[in-house]
Structure 1
Amino acid sequence: MRFNSFFSRKSAPTVNHEGAAAFTLTPQIELYAAVATAALSDQFYEKADTRLQRLRELVARNEPTFVAQLAVYARESLNLRSVPLVLCVELARLHRGDNLVSRLVARVVQRPDEITELLAFYAQANGRVGTKILNRLSKQLQKGLALSFNRFDGYQLAKYDRSGAVRLRDALFLVHPNPKDAAQQALFDQLVRGELPTPYTWETELSAAGQQAYADPTERAAAVARTWEALIASGKLGYMALLRNLRNILEANVSAEAMTQVCATLADRTAVARSKQLPFRFLAAFREVKALSGGPVASVLAALEDAIAHSAANLRGFGAETRVVVACDVSGSMQQPISPRSKVLLYDVSLVLGMLLQSRCQNVVAGMFGSKWKRISLARGPVLRNVEEFYRREGEVGYSTNGHLVVQDLRQRREVVDKVMIFTDVQLWNSNGDGGTIAQEWAAYRRSVAPNARLYLFDLAGHGATPLQVRPEMGVALIAGWSDKIFDVLTALDNGGSALIEIAKVTL
């Protein structure tokens, strides 16, 4: 399929959440954007229940095969966990007649706790409460979950056998997986009896160290430090656990040898690739560590800079011959946590992705916009330090969403660029009252200054409308999500493809 065929030729006019003129998206593009940015929590413009209801409606408007491909793409390429399970449940409600759903579930469920999470959402989506929570489960969901059970060993089952609306034991009784052999049957029996061996994890080890009785608090602190050192030396502390516990490790005053190993692991290219961390998680760790003082802190910060650079190792960037503008939205609606428990804002995601791209471009103008658009000159390379510099200065541009000023500035300077990259929640509006829009500015810029320029909207919120028509002949493209994988879509666009073509490559 060609790029053009994915977009309606005449997008219907609408308004965005700020009441500004906007354009609708095709059901495929809207579902892709909603899924790629779904935290399933309250956002500035959209409550979690509203987003969930819109996802359900969009699933019904799309072909089942596309929904299944998108679920796999979200799980395996974007490294999202919850929203692919939502797509599985919604597809099971609507689709019958083949084994598409069972194959999808077996593909998407990659951890035992995703079995129970899927069943809990299934109960919620179908209004099941009390003793009826697991009644009348879709046969295709049941078959897919049974296949998933066969994939997990005793360590995985024990690690993720947690309390909740649905326990793994309940799921086992519900889906009746056929054990592969006698050893797996024994595991299932242990799960039913609650006799799976306690797994060796960093949580259990630290808990054991902290629960011992010590006469002196310094003895307890020393025991915790020794436990961290043992975990680090064992290689069994996963990359995500390491990233999230850097502050705890530093405050435990582990040995210099242990800290050297921590930094080596953080900065290891292979470990970073295998961890599949979303780029903003490196920023969250960077901020936690930066708040501390002491000898190892500088080394850890440097290791985190190396790590985020490795996380986008496949980002090709652009050479000196390609003129690029990177514009980051720092408006009020971007000052929203991506989830209730996160300190990371949509604004942070905008800056991290923008600075990753800036670090790979040789001829680049970077800046931020709110009420004003401001260019900021930064060294190419230190992604996290550049993010922090933007963060320090965001109040300099105000908190409206005047994204049209980015293009207006180029037009007034008569500055020819090849690519304009805007990282935003796409709820652009004009607070100046002069009627100017990004659609008008873009058309004028291409007509009078740079007819071959291309505009890329990096949608970080997925609210379902855009401030100008997403059409190739107008030089406008939409990319959605928080993952470094958005840059794979950018490469595909430059080669005549699209996000939907990348999704269509998924084999089921």
Structure 2
Amino acid sequence: MVRLNTFLRAFTHEGAPSRQLPPVQALQRTLMSCLLWEDQFYEDGIAIADRIKSLVPQVEPREVAQLAVRAREEMKLRHAPLLVAREMARLPQHRALVAETLSRIIQRPDEMTELLAIYWADALGPQQQRKRQPVSAQVKKGLAKAFPKFDAYQLAKYDREGPVRLRDVLFLVHARPKDAAQEAAWKQLVDGELASPDTWEVALSAGADKRASFERLIAEKRLGALALLRNLRLMQQAGVPRATVAAAIETMRTDRILPYRFITAARHAPDFEPELEQAMLRAIKSYARLPGRTRLLIDVSGSMFASLSAKSEMTRADAACGLAILAREVCDEVEIFTFSDAVVKVPPRRGFALRDAILGSQPHSGTYLGRAVKEVDRNGDRLIVFTDEQSHDPVPSPRARGTIVNVASYQHGVGYGPWTRVDGFSEAVIAWIAAQEESSRGAPLH
């Protein structure tokens, strides 16, 4: 008689032993770093999206809704939470929470049209494409609750050409305006009469002088922080005075900007590194501190240098560097190491100097996380690892309080057992570590 092994073994893409996660943990792992339909180093975007679809029915409805909200509000992800809401709408037990969830996760007008595009993307073949699937009542209710969030300027800014327009959403859901002014704006939207938004895209596409347009938008505080970061090089090329741009960086809001975006901006506009570094560090001042001695271990293997998306030059290494810069600021005592084929200690510099030390520390090759943990995890209060969890070798249990920050969406990883794993590359992961330690102060370490 052959005895079957009932334990289903799993491995990372590089061969380290892993484990099958419970569905709720698997959904969190896949969702929290997911830029929907974007390929990652080892998995394509379609496979990742399909895994999300398969996991939603296996997870308790309230937990699914909470993960979707966390992905939007904490991790700043836009499309993946919409896919979760669409999958919830298919399921009788989950459907009751769809309206509530959508009203939370829709934070830009175009997310309403993107949700419907996802909803209708299942149609196969010409006949089905011409006949859109009826939208569920809960989805309509959620969109109706979200629509009044947005003023005329926001509606005009995000009313873009496409198979689904904002007026289509309004006709579909029959939302109720908050007041007469909003009712008038909605009528203008329907009639195509909303005033063109005063944005840099509109100003430049209209043929206006680039320098004059940027100077006016900065002076009138109409250039948002993300738009400012994205256009630094273009403003330099247009001849905008350096002092004008520097002043805009110094006064920009940083509360919704992820650390790695400053790294990318500095790569394209290195002349503004001092101002960008100060803006990045300014956002960290309010963070809770991590007392005691901390060791940071940063993955610089080859897979960390794949782009986050097809249209982005940002990499997971950028995300890890941003988080390391942030962690460096909130740790009382810190030692910093990188790992790939080797383990290298880097000086605990601040800001972009730390980024340079991390990226230039060693060649970007294999992923020997287990070996690195054995070498680095000595005396100390905590060990924090930033990685995509695709190790060649088994990863031992930590001696100190061990946290693995997973910056990818791969199905299998290594941050299990006594490790605490945090999924995602938002600045929220560092705040979460501090909050977890504060709540468990006095509890024995693993």
State the alpha-carbon separation in 2 of the partners of residues 496 and 54 from structure 1.
33
Matches of 1:118 and 1:490 in 2, distance apart? 32
Map of 2:395 onto structure 1:
438
CA shift, 1:260, in A, is: 4.4
CA offsets, 1:398-423, max 9 Å, x none?
51100112222247xxx412211111
Q: Does the aligned pair in 1 maintain the 2:284–2:329 contact within 8 Å?
A: no
- The answer on whether the counterparts of 2:215 and 2:244 sit within 8 Å (CA) in structure 1 is yes
Aligned to 1:36: 32
Larger radius of gyration: 1
Partner of 2:3: none
Aligned to 1:340: 310
Which residue of 281, 284, 296 corresponds with 1:312? Answer: 284
1:235-280 CA-partner distances (Å, limit 9, x unpaired): 11111111111111122222355234223224xxxx212xx01111
| Whole-Å separation in 2 of the counterparts to 1:468 and 1:232 | 45
Question: Which amino acid letter does the alignment assign opposite residue 423 of structure 1?
Answer: F
* Structure 1: unaligned runs, 5 residues or longer: 1-9, 211-222, 291-296, 431-436, 447-452, 498-508
**Contact 2:290/2:332, CA 8 A, preserved across alignment:** yes
Structure 1 contact 209–227 (Cα < 8 Å) conserved: no
Distance verdict in 2 for CA 1:369–1:164, change over 3 Å: same
User: Could you tell me which of 13, 19, 27 is aligned with 1:17?
Assistant: 13
Letter in 2 for 1:101: V
- 1:431-469 CA distances to partner (integer Å, 9 max, x unpaired)? xxxxxx322xx37xx4xxxxxx12111101132333253
* Identity, % of aligned positions: 35
Q: Write the distance in 2 (CA, Å) between the matches of 1:311 and 1:485.
A: 12
Matched, 1:124 2:118: no
The equivalent of 2:184 in structure 1 is 186
Distance 1:384 1:410, change over 3 A: closer
Show CA shifts across 1:125-156 (max 9, x none): 465953323x3111100111122222222211
The correspondence of residues 252-263 of structure 1 with structure 2, limited to 5 A, is 252-255=238-241, 257-263=243-249
Q: How far 1:38 sits from its partner (Å)?
A: 0.2
1:419 to 378, 382, 390: 382
Q: 1:125 to 1:486 in 2, by over 3 A?
A: farther
* Partner secondary structure for residue 269 of structure 2: helix
Report the equivalent of 1:26: 22
SS in 1 for 2:43: coil
- Find the aligned partners of 1:336 and 1:329 in 2 and give their Cα distance: 13
| CA distance in 2 between partners of 1:493 and 1:127 (Å) | 46
Q: Deviations over 1:17-76 (max 9, x none)?
A: 223211222222221121110012001111111100111111111111111111112212
1:150 partner SS: helix
- Aligned-partner residue type, residue 210 of structure 2: V
Distance 1:150 1:242 in 2: 27
1:285 equivalent to 2:248? Answer no
- Which residue of 2 is the match for residue 390 of structure 1? 358
8 Å CA contact 1:102, 1:144 repeated in 2: yes
C-alpha distance 11-118 of structure 1, shift in aligned 2 (>3 A): farther
| Correspondence 1:189-228 to 2 at 5 A | 189-210=187-208, 223-228=209-214
User: Alpha carbons of 1:150 and 1:359: their partners in 2 closer, same or farther (altered >3 Å)?
Assistant: closer
Pairing of 1:399-478 with structure 2 (within 5 A) = 399-410=365-376, 415-430=378-393, 437-439=394-396, 442=397, 446=399, 453-467=400-414, 469-470=416-417, 474=418, 476-478=419-421
Structure 1 residue matching 2:121: 3-state secondary structure: helix
In structure 2, what residue type is equivalent to 1:406?
Answer: A
Unaligned ranges ≥5, structure 2 = 1-5, 441-446
Aligned pair count? 432
Post-superposition offset of 1:116: 0.3
**Which residue, out of 419, 424, 433, partners 1:481?**
424
Pick which of 348-357 and 46-55 moved more: 348-357
Equivalent of 2:338, from 368, 376, 401? 368
Residue in 1 that maps onto 2:329: 359
Q: Is the contact made by 2:249 and 2:279 (CA closer than 8 Å) also made in structure 1?
A: no
TM-score of the superposed pair, with normalisation by structure 1: 0.80
Kept after mapping to 1: 8 A contact 2:290/2:434:
no
- Taking structure 2 as the reference length, the TM-score comes to 0.90
Secondary structure at the residue paired with 2:335?
Answer: strand
Q: Following the alignment from structure 1 to structure 2, what is the Cα–Cα distance between the partners of residues 96 and 127?
A: 26
Match of 1:250 in 2: 236
- The CA deviation at 1:393 is 3.2
Classify 1:131/1:181 alpha carbon distance in 2 versus 1 (closer, same or farther; 3 Å): farther
Structure 1: distance between partners of 2:347 and 2:241: 39
Partners of 1:181 and 1:264 in 2: how far apart? 37
C-alpha separation in 1, matches of 2:434 and 2:348: 24
Contact 2:250 2:275 in 1 (8 A): yes
Aligned-residue Cα RMSD (Å) equals 2.3
Return the offset for 1:158: 1.1
CA distance in structure 1 between the partners assigned to 2:348 and 2:200 by the alignment: 39
Distance 1:250 1:342 in 2: 21
Corresponding residue for residue 163 of structure 1: 161
Contact 2:16 2:392 in 1 (8 A): yes
Is 1:272 the equivalent of 2:254? yes
Mapped to 2, the partners of 1:124 and 1:176 lie a distance apart of 23
Q: Give the AA of the match of 1:482.
A: F
SS in 2 for 1:93: coil
Change (3 A) 1:229 1:11: farther
